[in-house]
Amino acid sequence: MRNQMKIAICIPTFNQSKYLRIAVQSALEQSGVETEVWVSDDASTDETPTVMRAFENDPRVHYHRHATNQGIAANAGWVMEQPDTPYLVRLDSDDVLKPDYCRSLSEMLRRHPDSAVAHGAVEEIDEHGKHNRHRRLGRVPGEQTADAALAGATSGYRVAANICMFRTSALRQLPYVYRPGMNFAEDWDLFVRLAVAGWNNVYCSDTLAEYRVWSDAGGYRSGRKASEIRGILRLFDETLQPEWDQRGWETNDLWKARRRLALTHAESLTVIPPGTEDYQQVYGLLENLAGDGEVIESHLAFRDSRIGRFAEALSRTRQRLRSHAKSVYFRVGKVVPLAQRSFLRQ
């Protein structure tokens, strides 16, 4: 029998013992490839050590527990530095790989030696495992050049979810996996830095994983939004801006992107209690991101107006219709041959 390729699946975890066993099991049950699983426990205070004891006799599973909490970037970066396999996967401990994940994406990386990242469509689930929707990119499956990825990075992290396979040799060329202390947008930043280094990425439109999305009571978690915006600021200030300057690209495009993101995140101010430290902190960070406090103030004033409320309702309706149309398109694409789809468009 032909030797199977070995792929490492790296699972950083903190206080998610409820889901950890499922994540590890999905990593072990990959078809067509041999896997090794690395779990890095960031000093969890729940039942994580007990869960991992169930795998202590499995030579494929490596478990490490930090004595003190390292933070998201340090913990995830540490575990991704351990394997020496050709490819590795970052899998968060509340997400799940489908059986063909590793085989499908490793084959794509093998066919595209200039790509450092492979990613696919995902099924979005809630905290109870209930299916919400499918998440796919509105791009043609296959390879995207580094320059195209870099140009598109200003509009967001262009993956269906942060469940990616990496070419290990590409990661080892970087000074670090995740930028130190960058505990939000660290995955987006890594994607951009690989593009800066000249690496392409490749996308598979098959649904290859389950991505868990949490709904927070009250609409926000104290301190989380501020940390998220700090991460985005570091991405622009420390990664995108220097690269734009070096290439001589129009920096006005970066500021437009910053303002768009600032206005998007300004929605959080509608659920954070005014006058609190959280509110003041987030507001100040949004001013920094936009480069102009009046932009944020004007946006909030418009949103509270009658016209603004109508525009918001219209936007939500448009988003639902777009999401539904996209879902129908991809379902049709699975069952109707290309020639028939061409006929249907006539």
Q: What is the CATH number of the domain that holds 21?
A: 3.90.550.10
Task: Tell me how far apart the alpha carbons of residues 303 and 148 are, in angstroms, rounded to a whole number.
Answer: 34
Q: Which residues contact 290 (CB under 8 A, 6 or more apart)?
A: 258, 259, 262, 263, 296
- Residues 256, 245 share a domain: yes
- Does residue 133 lie within any of the structural domains? yes
Residue whose structure tokens are 């039942």: 47
* Domain assignment of residue 68, yes or no: yes
Cα distance between residue 81 and residue 337, in whole Å: 43
Identify the pLDDT of residue 295: 81
pLDDT value at residue 341: 41
Indicate if 285 and 327 belong to the same structural domain.
no
pLDDT of res. 93: 98
In a domain, 101, yes or no: yes
- Are 102 and 172 in contact by the 8 Å Cβ rule? The answer is no
Asked which of 212, 235, 267 is the last residue of a domain, the reply is 212
What is the spatial distance between Cα 18 and Cα 46, in angstroms, rounded to a whole number? 9
CB atoms under 10 Å from CB of 181, counted, come to: 13
Specify the DSSP element, H or E, that contains 302. helix 293-304
Separation CA 40–CA 55 (nearest Å): 14
- The domain in which residue 329 lies consists of 307-345
What is the residue-level pLDDT of the chain in tens, covering all 346 positions?
345 789 999 999 999 999 999 999 999 999 999 999 999 999 999 999 999 999 999 999 999 999 999 999 999 999 999 999 999 999 999 999 999 999 999 999 999 999 999 999 999 999 999 999 999 999 999 999 999 999 999 999 999 999 999 999 999 999 999 999 999 999 999 999 999 999 999 999 999 999 999 865 444 555 789 999 999 999 999 999 999 999 999 999 999 999 999 999 998 898 899 999 999 999 999 999 999 878 888 887 767 555 545 545 554 566 556 655 655 554 555 444 444 444 333 3
Does residue 141 fall inside a structural domain? yes
Give the gyration radius of the chain's Cα atoms: 21
Whole-number pLDDT of residue 343: 36
pLDDT given for residue 223 in this prediction: 73
Do 208 and 64 lie in one domain? The reply is yes
Residue 218 lies in a domain: no
Q: Which pLDDT tens digit goes with each residue over 281-298? A: 999 999 999 998 788 888
CB-based contact 41:65 (threshold 8 Å): yes
pLDDT confidence of residue 337:
45
Q: Are residues 93 and 241 in the same domain?
A: no
**What's the pTM value of the predicted model, to 2 decimals?**
0.86
pLDDT of residue 111: 98
185, 333: one domain: no
pLDDT at 311: 46
- 241 with 319, same domain: the answer is no
113 part of a folded domain: yes
The pLDDT assigned to 292 comes to: 83
Q: CA–CA separation, 218 vs 316, rounded Å?
A: 20
Cβ count near 301 (within 10 Å): 10
Could you tell me if 57 and 96 lie in one domain?
yes
Q: Where in 168-261 does DSSP place strands (E)?
A: 200-212
Tell me the pLDDT tens digit for each residue of 38-51. Answer: 999 999 999 999 99
- Specify the pLDDT at position 222: 57
| Phi, psi dihedrals of residue 52, rounded to the nearest 5° | -75, -20
- Rounded to whole angstroms, how far apart are CA atoms 5 and 83? 14
Cβ 62 vs Cβ 80: under 8 Å: no
Spell out the residues 6+ positions from residue 255 whose beta carbon is closer than 8 angstroms to its own. Answer: 291
The residue behind tokens 């050590």 is 49
pLDDT given for residue 214 in this prediction? 80
Kindly state whether residues 61 and 192 are assigned to the same domain.
yes
| pLDDT score of 312 | 52
Q: Within a domain: residue 87? A: yes
Q: At which of 146, 180, 212 does a domain end? A: 212
CA 73 – CA 121 distance, rounded (Å): 24
Are 275 and 289 within one domain? yes
Task: Check if the beta carbon of residue 102 is closer than 8 Å to that of residue 57.
Answer: no
Tokens of 184: 């939000």
pLDDT at 322: 60
Residue 85 and residue 234 in one domain: no
* C-alpha dihedral sign at 126, 128, 129, 133: negative
- The position carrying tokens 């809630």 is 126
Q: Is residue 3 part of a domain?
A: no
Contact status, residue 102 vs residue 7, Cβ threshold 8 Å: yes
123 lies in the same domain as 153:
yes
- Indicate whether 178 and 228 sit together in one domain: no
The Cα–Cα gap between 72 and 224 comes to 13
Number of domains composing the chain: 3
